[in-house]
Structure 1
Amino acid sequence: MTETEQGSYVEPGEFKRDTNYITTRITADGRDGYPAEPGRYRLVAARACPWANRTLIVRRLLGLESAISLGLCGPTHDKLSWTFDLDPGGIDPVLRIHRLRDAYLARFPGYPRGITVPAVVDVLTGQVVTNDYAQITLDFSLEWTAYQRAGAPELYPEPLRSEIDEVDARVFREVNNGVYRCGFAGAQDAYDAAYDRLFTALDWLSDRLSGQRYLVGDTITEADVRLFTTLVRFDPVYHGHFKCNRSKLTEMPVLWAYARDLFQTPGFGDTIDFTQIKDHYYQVHTDINPTQIVPKGPELSNWLSPHHRETLGGRPFGDGTPPGPPVPGEEVPAGHGAR
């Protein structure tokens, strides 16, 4: 999603985010009319978008590539919609559409809200099923178990769900959305308040993670996925572009080591396209960056430096195993990742 596509807006003062999504769910029992069936659905995402990036990571970790196909939009878009600029002729090869908007309108003619990624589309009808990004990843974990790979980790284990939900709520409010409140604040006092809230939360996370490897429990969970996609964009985008500049991620030792630990874990860093991330933010947000100049920095090879977080213990995948390499055709282009 982007700010304008999400229906978010800037009024004098605080940035607001529209959180009304298409809440239809794909479930094992098909109670909303959409049963979990391999080959029936296509996940439409963009590597640039942090909200869509979550679905790419969870799909990789759970090994759902063969069950749910992937369509990738380019890093920029026109005023109407995300577009399939990366595909030959600008047409998604499965859905046969140029704009994701077409799938929304196929189900909801005159759809009044933003055309956002991620979205799951029913290949049979060409209609969008859901764009409720938070529920999509939870349902990948809970409703698609029959089609997950052998050794898939539990990202939302039942004994930890209440704690995961509590952490996720604060991370969304103060960090995931907090960087946007800084970047799109419409007044100085609103920016100052958003800035203080963001770094108060980052300090809280640093304290929490100083003595434990992962956010909740001793394995990777949904909470880590949700925090990671903001942290990985912090220095390339949020520090400068969104004025979140008290400290760079590389200047916050605990969070920097934590982020590198996840980045170097299969399923995380191999979904990150820094080139598309920078192209999106700096070229699309012309109200913030009217020249559309994309910065060359920062240095990215340090993402591969030792993190030493393994000394805190923990088992990344619990009783499961790491995912294999990205499936052919879904690799991040050479030169677009850490190098």
Structure 2
Amino acid sequence: MTITASKPFTVRTALDEHGLKGEFVRKDASWRNWVSRAPGAKFAPEKGRYHLYVAHACPWAHRTVLVRALKGLEDVISITIVHPTWQRTRPEEDEHAGWVFGDPNGKPLRNKDGNGGPFPPAYPDNEPDPFCGAKNIRGIYEKAGDTDGKYSVPILWDKKLHTIVSNESSEIIRMLNSEFNEFAKYKDLDLYPEHLRDAIDAVNDWVYPTINNGVYRCGFAKTQSAYDAAITELTESFDRIDQILQNQRYIAGDEFTEADVRLFVTLLRFDEVYVVYFKTNTRMVTYTPSILNYLREIYQMPGVKATINMEQIKAHYYTSHPQLNIYSVVPRGNDFTKLLELPHDRDLISKKRKLQE
């Protein structure tokens, strides 16, 4: 797709991606380059060369922040966190609303009319764009010459070549896992080990469409039949996860892997957001002991808690989609993260399996 003066491409968000039957159909990411240690690679791993643009709220972005922390790459790859509440990005041109940067005080940068409502609150870690001077994520894509029109996070940005490397989270986390090991504090951690790759890929193949993307298929469905199909698959997969975790410490085996990272970021948001906002109320993590205990173990791993900001997670979902929540009222909830502070006993699963072998 090319941009022309007479026929510009159409900007969009995930809310605009639907099939003929009202079902949510997420389009593939458009930027799919790789950071590689291979000789002569265009995007070679270097300390300080790359930057992540992320949102606390977005589970896809959270994957990358989580792996960055688990691998100890905070001093290698810099980061900017955008404001959780979407704003109009070019109100003089179109209706698009999306991620915006903060000003020096953490207030969202927005155009004159914003969303037409009260000014969203400031968050201290929502900062200005440090490289392009953009007001919003749309500006980053435009700086890179994007022709796709979906301005999503995460973005892995190359400071040297001034362009986007990738906006596909599943591929970014694999780059972070393997390509920056010479700079990583925890280089021995391998989230995609050779001996478990088939198992990891098999889990990802059903968890992604029915759980990770399944919650969006429920929440963004425009017809009852589309919702019914999505919630049925989600419920079956939730129960499948429950059964697996009753007998296995992690979702793809006895080792913590990228499959757990991908599952964790969705389940973390499940009770506080998806059950209410996306109508996934056939199940709850709070009332599923094996899954709650599993989340506790991951939440309590070094570095994980610091990547989580439930206030901004809830602020984004409940205040960014007027067509889904016109008054932007944020439900109070039960402070789900407090449940994750309680002790877990997931190590007993491993001991039990060893006794059985």
* Whole-Å separation in 2 of the counterparts to 1:83 and 1:31: 35
Asked if 2 retains the 8 angstrom alpha-carbon contact of 1:55 and 1:136, the reply is: yes
Match of 1:106 in 2: 143
- The counterpart of 2:343, out of the listed 301, 306, 313, is 306
Match of 2:123 in 1: none
Asked if 1 retains the 8 angstrom alpha-carbon contact of 2:15 and 2:220, the reply is: no
Asked if 1 retains the 8 angstrom alpha-carbon contact of 2:244 and 2:251, the reply is: yes
How do 1:111-260 and structure 2 match up within 5 A? 111-150=147-186, 152-260=188-296
| Residue 195 to residue 4, structure 1, CA distance change in 2 (3 Å) | same
Matched residues, number = 311
Match of 2:331 in 1: 295
Give the gaps of 5 or more residues in structure 2: 1-11, 90-97, 107-126, 352-357
Deviation, structure 1 residue 299:
2.9
Q: Amino acid of the residue matched to residue 288 of structure 2?
A: M
Deviation, structure 1 residue 91:
2.1
Match of 1:77 in 2: 86
Tell me, yes or no, if structure 1 residue 22 matches structure 2 residue 31.
yes
| Residue 10 to residue 295, structure 1, CA distance change in 2 (3 Å) | farther
Tell me, yes or no, if structure 1 residue 34 matches structure 2 residue 43.
yes
Match of 1:47 in 2: 56
| Residue 236 to residue 98, structure 1, CA distance change in 2 (3 Å) | same
* Whole-Å separation in 1 of the counterparts to 2:277 and 2:215: 10
Asked if 2 retains the 8 angstrom alpha-carbon contact of 1:29 and 1:36, the reply is: no
Q: Amino acid of the residue matched to residue 158 of structure 2?
A: D
Deviation, structure 1 residue 157:
0.4
Greater C-alpha Rg: 2
Deviation, structure 1 residue 151:
5.3
Tell me, yes or no, if structure 1 residue 4 matches structure 2 residue 13.
yes
Asked if 2 retains the 8 angstrom alpha-carbon contact of 1:279 and 1:294, the reply is: yes
Give the gaps of 5 or more residues in structure 1: 315-339
Deviation, structure 1 residue 32:
5.2
> Which whole-Å deviations, capped at 9, do the CAs of 1:270-312 have from their partners, x for residues lacking one?
2111000000000012211111101111233222112221212
Secondary structure at 1:75 match in 2: strand
Q: Give identity over the alignment, percent.
A: 38
Asked if 2 retains the 8 angstrom alpha-carbon contact of 1:6 and 1:113, the reply is: no
Q: Amino acid of the residue matched to residue 69 of structure 1?
A: S
* Whole-Å separation in 1 of the counterparts to 2:50 and 2:14: 22
Asked if 2 retains the 8 angstrom alpha-carbon contact of 1:72 and 1:86, the reply is: no
Deviation, structure 1 residue 7:
5.9
Secondary structure at 2:100 match in 1: coil
Asked if 2 retains the 8 angstrom alpha-carbon contact of 1:262 and 1:268, the reply is: yes
Tell me, yes or no, if structure 1 residue 66 matches structure 2 residue 75.
yes
TM-score normalised per structure 1: 0.86
TM-score normalised per structure 2: 0.82
Q: Amino acid of the residue matched to residue 48 of structure 1?
A: A
| Residue 246 to residue 5, structure 1, CA distance change in 2 (3 Å) | closer
